[in-house]
Amino acid sequence: MADRDAARPGAGQDAAEATVTFTLDGREVTARKGEMLIAAAERAGTFIPRFCYHPRMSSVGVCRMCLVEVSGPRGATLQPSCFIEATEGAVVDTLSDKVKKAQDGVLEFLLVNHPLDCPVCDKGGECPLQDQTLAYGPGESRFVEEKRHFEKPIPVSELVLLDRERCIQCSRCTRFASEVAGEAQIDFIGRGEEIEVNTFPDLPFSSYFSGNTVQICPVGALTAAPYRFAARPWDLDQVESTCTTCAVGCRVAVQSSANRVTRLLGIDSDPVNHGWLCDKGRFAFEAVNDGDRVTEPMVRIDGELTPVTWHEALERVADGLRSAAADGPEGIGFIGGARLTNEGAYAWTKLAKGVLGTDSVDAQLGDGLPAAAVLGLPRATIDQAATAATVVLLAGDLREELPVLYLRLRSRVVGGDLSLVELSPQATASTPFASVSLRYRPGDAAGLARAMVDDTASLPAGTDPAALAEARRLTGSGPVVVVIGRPSLAEDGRLVAEAARILAEARPDCRFLPALRRGNVLGALDMGMAPGVLPGRVDLDDARAWFAREWDTVPERAGRDTVGMLRSAAGPAAGGSGDPDPTVRVRALVLLGADPTGDLPDARLAGEGLDGAEFVVQVASSTAALSTRADVVLPAAEAHERPGTTTNIEGRVTRLGQKLVPPGQAWPDWMIAAELASHLDADLGLDSLHGVWDEVERLAPAYRGITRSVLEAAGGDGVVAPLATSGVGISRRSVPGPLDPIAFPGVESVERQGAPPRAGFAESPTAVTTAAVATGGEGGAADASGREDGGTEGDGPPARPPLLGVPADLGAPRVPPTDSYTSRLVASRRLYDRGAAVAASPALAALVPEPPVRVNPHDLDDLGVAPGGDVLVRTATASLVAPAVADPSLPRKVVAADFNLPLAGGSIADLIDATAPVTELRLETP
Amino acid sequence: MSGPPSPSPGPAPRRAGAPPAPSHLSAETVERARELIALYPEARSALIPLCHLAQEQDGWLRPEAMADIAALVGVTPAEVYGTASFYDMLHTEPVGTHLVSVCTNIACLLGGAAELLEHAETSLGVNVGGTTVDGAITLEEAECLADCDRAPCVQVNHRYVGAQTPESFDRLVADLRTGARADEIPRHGTLVRVRRSVGLRAGRDRVVAERAAMAAAQAARAEEAAAAAAGRKEGSA
Ligand code: SF4
Ligand code: SF4
Ligand code: FES
Ligand code: FES
């Protein structure tokens, strides 16, 4: 491993620079050394037909569709261009008669056993086999014998069906499963004419990434259950967008027909998803089409939510908020915001902080990290993490929380290019390929981080010294990126953030990738949706003067976070939990898409907070997520129903496409905020989506220079904020080339971005010039150009506030010492949980697991409970009985369970105490 | 096809961890499997020998055995199934105690193989590929078995039994059923050659010693290469 680290930098550079020149159809062409002929030809504008070759996977040369004639010492021979490298001086002919005959022959051969049931095949119309047969194939088959027959189709998983008759054995799906996903649950079974793709008997293809095989299958052999017979490709309309199901921000093509989303396909964004999607992102669109949508504003009258007009509803909200602010603006709190677009988030922040004057705004639901840490730590891009020497994982299970980030890192690690150091209380999907896995008890994260950078620090109990030494060695040199998230929801986020802060202090060159999972949570934080910050990653106090110039008001002092708001609303009576700042109690809560009773790790606190609040407004899109406590419900547009921008974990800003008209009277969020402001007799000054963005660009320091034209020119890959300091300019799409329709069949055009303007929302786009990109790309230049920001320059305008830096103090709570009877709880996330997106997507809802509680085998032994037997888990305030299994990866006295999943015996959220640094519990026999 | 029984019902476990302990293969088979695995630099290289071991235990490759093998060599059950189903001598569906292979390639065909096979089907009451109801005999049609001078050539459990006539074939089957030839023809799956040729005779100690020497040599080469690279770097600086 040491050799590999030492070898990396030089090797990479040499390979990037070395080129070879060869002759392609009579032209001189330059290729990168080691590049396959098929790729070099493609970059030179020559498309060679192919089936098995995929730019994101290894070449296998099995379909022979890509044969070209290469002249060598033995004369011209036919060779598979996907399997031979371009060599200096080679003479390659892709159009000779011999090549044409070979293509013709290969296609005739592939069609020998192909059922030719195109009229009833989902792939018909976008099928590489169909298209390439038309372009390169025989007009007629000489095969008159009986074709082979299989039962059609068979399910290989709940989501994917396989028609073996249509399969051409290209091995794209099996390569994807083993190489990319690392879950080879499908393989070729049998040999010769009996060969078929299949699973092991009764062991389904249960990968979270199974949908990708459907997308890359070059025929209609693999189909996805939600799309089967739903549409014909030529009836689909497409817009390019970004998946906001989690915060990775994979690029997608949203395809629809008749104002319903029909499917999502991955688009190859080189810096982000390489074309892959996870099944949750791919199939959760069913929730948007779902009938259970909030379509009209509603007000609770006599205990019943009753439809009213927007005007009535907003009046009611304005009254409620006014009276809640009687003692001071801190009487109002805003919870949620991760499902908003950046524009929506900015508008709500401006309403809360700039009109109402309360700083109690929090897009995170007690399951995130302190905003000061997320925004202040030097940020890494996904590419920087993938190309670092070592990645430190101090986060939940990435496969469960940020699936495609897991894929990106995994491929580098198993390829031997990256070392993984995992700091986690339990085994995760990354454990098998991590170089070191350091187990820790909840509460010890910061202590472990300290031990990693300081040999004299005392080791947290139970730390394996050899593993620690190896972790130190791996993080001691070379670029290190720390992926920082929440390994457990039952451990205060500040404890984990403190660990990151320690690493940042000791290793100033360390970069951080926040593993926060909710849709646009990073965009919401960037837009100021957290206490103590203002839009553009700036501190409230630093930026007060800057924003005071343009906003009606700016909060006097830092507000409460979600837990603080709920504690305050619950009042001193509830649970005895005192408010850190009792002067002004939170009386009104505005829930921006969030129902804290489902999302907050601490269910009791959420319930008490909502019950204690005098007035609750919920901006929601799905009736399933409605709070029973909401006094007013405002219908909001969902993903795919609103244009705008989003920001992913890297800080990458990309544009969202709108494909649907929102149902009923649902409005885009920024508009709701703007209208509400006018009912509060204020003017948000935001009257178009573009207007919002222009203000963000002008006022939010981290977004300086990211103008609409820069975004437009950047295309699908977007740009990373902030432009000036990130060192990441506008990247150019390198793979696949615009010529490869076979890599991701079905994606109409990867370059097309056409959110159709909706009347009243969008202006016609301004002209894009490359100059705008150049200016934006350099970032600093935009500042230096002296562009005017406001009208007050003559009076000595306040200086643009500095971006947040590494926080000096996060106020991490002290973890009480533990006794030998007490265990600590680990609450982790699963991809398919009871969240609204999964619940409203029938294809996914069926996949929600019901995992048991997990206990260290010795602890289970000590209890005298056999694996699978029931245990009683008791905290100071609650208890539940649930089946437990032994998990040897857990440290002693650690109990693990999954959050927001069905659990025989109750819900783990009943046990978590969000106001304690860690959740302590006793394990007993029931 | 009678669907092989499920090795582990329900979806595959999502959570990684220590691979499950082999639950179907006997302690003795697992012990020998571990010895075989130790012979290779990569555990998965032992996949096919392990399939033979499992087939020796059960007479055919049961799904439970394939799942155990997958855990032993660190691949998925589907990969074991994919590999095993490629090879004619690995049986992923049940076979009888005796696998009778009749060659129908050119020399044997001229020597009456077609007639012999037809007779076999009638007298055994099964089609090619089938197993008699008592589970004693599975009839198989084979390509050239390299015993062309004794056409039509027949093998039982991959052991030559010489040219057969319909009459001698019936006697052969009767003997197999009574166990009269059990000494020379053990039940299907029993290994002779695989056991001998995979080198277990070398002894575990010697294998371990040789692997250590190999690792040392590799490390030395790597060190040399690193030193040379460092030298070049200094030279160029
Ligand atoms: S199912 Fe599709 S992707 Fe898989 S091997 Fe067959 S043709 Fe290729
Ligand atoms: S990883 Fe996240 S962004 Fe990507 S497809 Fe899945 S849910 Fe969407
Ligand atoms: S052999 Fe080259 S694309 Fe399949
Ligand atoms: S042809 Fe039958 S053994 Fe050779």
Is A467 part of a structural domain of the chain? yes
Please report, for the domain that includes residue B14, its CATH number. Answer: 1.10.10.1590
Of A215, A246, A833, the one to substitute when testing ligand 2's pocket (max ligand atoms within 8 A of C-beta) is A246
Number of domains in chain A: 4
Residues A437, A467: Cα–Cα separation, whole Å: 7
| pLDDT score for B224 | 87
Asked if the structure places residue B190 within a domain, the reply is: no
A460 & A528 share domain: no
Distance from the CA of B73 to the center of ligand 2, in angstroms?
A: 32
Same domain for B19 and B65? yes
* pLDDT score, position A772: 38
> Token pair for residue A195?
């060969």
Whether B47 and B116 map to the same domain: the answer is no
The three state secondary structure string of chain B is CCCCCCCCCCCCCCCCCCCCCCCCCCHHHHHHHHHHHHCCCCHHHHHHHHHHHHHHHHCCCCHHHHHHHHHHHCCCHHHHHHHHCCCCCCCCCCCCCEEEEEECCHHHHHCCHHHHHHHHHHHHCCCCCCECCCCCEEEEEECCCCCHHHCCEEEECCEEEEECCHHHHHHHHHHHHHCCCCCCCCCCCCCCHHHHHCCHHHCHHHHHHHHHHHHHHHHHHHHHHHHHHHHHHHHHC
Nearest to A647 by CA among A574, A698, A700, A584: A700
Nearest partner of A615 among A308, A326, A812, A272, judged by Cα = A326
Are A428 and A532 within one domain? no
Whether A2 contacts A70, CB under 8 Å: no
Ligand closest to A110 (CA) is 1
Q: Is the CB of B102 within 6 Å of ligand 4?
A: no
Q: Which of B135, B155, B52 is nearest to B95 (CA)?
A: B135
Q: How many CB pairs under 8 A join A and B?
A: 89
Does residue A324 sit in helix, strand or coil? helix
Whether residues B115 and B63 fall in one domain = no
Q: Does B217 map to a domain?
A: no
Structure tokens at A34: 């080691």
Pair A505, A355: CB distance under 8 Å: no
A427 lines ligand 1 (CB under 6 A): no
Intra-chain end-to-end CA distance of chain A, in Å: 48
B54 lies in the same domain as B81 = yes
CB A417 within 8 A of CB A390: no
Contact B6 A202 (CB under 8 A): yes
Q: Is residue A406 part of a domain?
A: yes
Q: Distance between CA A213 and CA A173 in Å, rounded?
A: 5
Answer whether A446's CB lies under 8 Å from A812's CB.
yes
Distance CA A242, CA A272 (A): 11
Chain A closest-CA separation from residue B68 CA (Å): 13
Domain count, chain B: 2
Q: Which residue of B lies nearest to A830 if distances are taken between CA atoms?
A: B14
Q: Are residues B3 and B85 in the same domain?
A: yes
What secondary structure, in 3-state letters, does A719-773 show? EECCHHHHCCCCCCCCCCCCCCCCCCCCCCCCCCCCCCCCCCCCCCCCCCCHHHH
Task: List the domain range (segments joined by +) for residue B106.
Answer: 98-178
| Ligand 3 nearest-atom number relative to CA A170 | 4
Instruction: Output Rg (C-alpha) for chain B, integer angstroms.
Output: 24
The verdict on B41 and B118 lying in the same domain is: no
User: Is A491 found in the same domain as A454?
Assistant: yes
Query: Which of B1, B6, B14, B218 best tests the A interface by mutation, with the highest count of A CBs <10 A?
Result: B14
In a domain, B42, yes or no: yes
Tokens of B91: 């049986």
Please tell me if residue B69 touches chain A, with a CB cutoff of 8 Å: no
Contact yes or no for B82 and A188 at CB 8 A: yes
Tell me, yes or no, whether A703 and A768 share the same domain. Answer: yes
Same domain, B60 and B122: no
For position A17, which CATH number holds?
3.10.20.740
The CATH number of residue A652's host domain is: 3.40.50.740
- Residue A905: predicted pLDDT: 75
Q: CATH code at A440?
A: 3.40.228.10
Two tokens at A836?
């609204």
Structural domain ending residue among the three candidates B178, B207, B229: B178
Q: Is the CB of B110 inside a 6 Å radius of any atom of ligand 4?
A: no
Clarify whether residues B67 and B31 are in a common domain: yes
Q: Test B11 with A206 for CB contact under 8 angstroms.
A: yes
Partners of residue A164 in chain B, C-beta under 8 Å: none
Whether B115 is in a domain gets the answer yes
| Nearest CA-CA distance, residue B35 and chain A, Å | 23
Residues 6+ apart with CB under 8 A from A660: A256, A259, A260, A261, A288, A640, A641
* Rounded Cα gap, residues B108 and B121, in angstroms: 17
* One domain, residues A738 and A593: yes
Tokens of A792: 């007050």
Q: For position A15, what pLDDT does the model report?
A: 46
Q: Is residue B147 part of a domain?
A: yes
Verify that A468 and A539 share a domain, yes or no. Answer: no
pTM (two decimals): 0.89
Contacts 24+ apart (CB under 8 A), B198-205: B198/B36, B198/B39, B198/B49, B199/B39, B200/B32, B200/B35, B200/B36, B204/B35, B204/B38
A851 vs B contacts (CB less than 8 Å): 15
* Under 8 Å between Cβ of A58 and A37: no
- Using the structure block, give the residue that is written with the tokens 């089946």: A883
Q: Which of A63, A79, A110 is the last residue of a domain?
A: A110
Whether A183 sits inside 8 A of B86 (CB atoms) is no
Query: Is the domain of B69 the same as that of B110?
Result: no
Q: How many CB atoms lie within 10 A of CB B186?
A: 16
CATH number, domain of B137, equals: 3.40.30.10
Dist CA A926 CA A565 (whole Å):
36
Question: Does a structural domain hold residue B194?
Answer: no
Identify whether A283 is part of a domain.
Answer: no
C-alpha span between A372 and A494 (Å, rounded): 10
pLDDT recorded at residue B209: 78
What is the spatial distance between Cα A88 and Cα A879, in angstroms, rounded to a whole number?
Answer: 72
CA dihedral A333, A335, A337, A339 (to 10 degrees): -150
Indicate which atom in ligand 3 lies nearest the CA of residue A80.
Answer: 2
pLDDT of residue A393: 97
Does residue A646 share a domain with residue A603? yes
Residue pair A790/A549 in contact by the 8 Å Cβ criterion? yes
* Alpha-carbon span A318 to A150, nearest angstrom: 65
B89 part of contact set with chain A, CB < 8 Å: no
Tell me, yes or no, whether A507 and A532 share the same domain.
no
**DSSP code, position A203:** B
- Which range marks the domain in which residue A52 is found? 2-110
Task: Say whether residue B6 is in contact with chain A using an 8 A CB cutoff.
Answer: yes
Put simply, the answer to whether A428 touches B16 (Cβ < 8 Å) is: yes
* Distance in angstroms (rounded) separating the CA atoms of residues A585 and A330: 7
- Domain final residue, candidates A61, A84, A110: A110
Reported as type and span, the H/E element at residue A619 is: strand A615-620
B116 lines ligand 4 (CB under 6 A): no
Q: What is the mean pLDDT of each run of 10 residues along chain A (926 residues)?
A: 35 61 95 94 93 96 96 89 94 96 95 93 92 88 91 94 97 97 96 94 95 96 94 90 96 92 93 96 88 92 95 97 94 96 98 97 95 97 96 97 98 95 96 95 94 90 91 92 96 96 94 96 98 97 96 94 94 55 87 86 92 96 88 96 97 95 95 97 95 97 95 92 60 51 72 33 33 38 39 64 93 88 93 87 90 93 92 90 93 92 84 91 91
Last residue of one domain, picked from the residues B178, B200, B224: B178
* Same-domain check for residues B60 and B108: no
Domain boundary among B126, B157, B178: B178
With beta carbons less than 8 A apart as the criterion, state whether A92 and A69 touch.
yes
* Token digits of residue B79: 């990969």
> Do residues A687 and A662 both lie within one domain?
yes
- Whether residue A141 lies inside any domain: the answer is no
A736 lies in the same domain as A594:
yes
pLDDT averaged per 10 residues, chain B (length 237): 37 41 89 89 94 94 96 96 95 96 96 96 96 96 94 94 95 95 88 54 67 82 85 60
SS3 for A38?
Answer: helix
Cis link prior to A425 (omega < 30° from 0)?
no
Which domain CATH number covers A844? 2.40.40.20
Query: Do A431 and B63 count as a contact with CB atoms less than 8 A apart?
Result: no
Q: In a mutagenesis test of the A interface, which of B1, B8, B15, B79 is the best target, namely the one with the most A β-carbons within 10 Å?
A: B15
Q: Does one domain contain both A570 and A693?
A: yes
Contact assessment for residue A227 and residue A179, using Cβ atoms and an 8 Å cutoff? no
Q: Give me the pLDDT at residue A860, please.
A: 94
Q: In angstroms, what is the C-alpha Rg of chain A?
A: 28
- Assess whether B127 and B156 both reside in one domain: yes
Amino acid, single-letter form, for residue A642? R
- Orientation of helix B47-58 relative to helix B77-84, angle to 10°: 80
Q: Which of A462, A485, A515 is the last residue of a domain?
A: A515
The string of pLDDT tens digits covering residues A336-371 is 999 999 999 999 999 999 999 999 999 999 999 999
- A696 and A560 share one domain: yes
In a domain, B223, yes or no: no
Residue A817: per-residue pLDDT? 87
| pLDDT value for A264 | 95
Contact (CB<8Å) B66/A427: no
Closest Cβ opposite residue B17 in set A191, A849, A887: A887
B78 vs A185, A431, A887: nearest CB: A185
A388 to chain B, minimum CA–CA distance in Å?
21
Q: Is A50 in the pocket of ligand 3 (CB under 6 A)?
A: yes
Indicate if B67 and B1 belong to the same structural domain. Answer: yes
The token pair that represents A454 in the structure block: 């300081």
How would you classify the pairing of strands A91-93 and A19-24? Answer: parallel
Minimal C-alpha gap between A201 and chain B (Å): 7
Q: Which residues contact A195 (CB under 8 A, 6 or more apart)?
A: A169, A188, A189
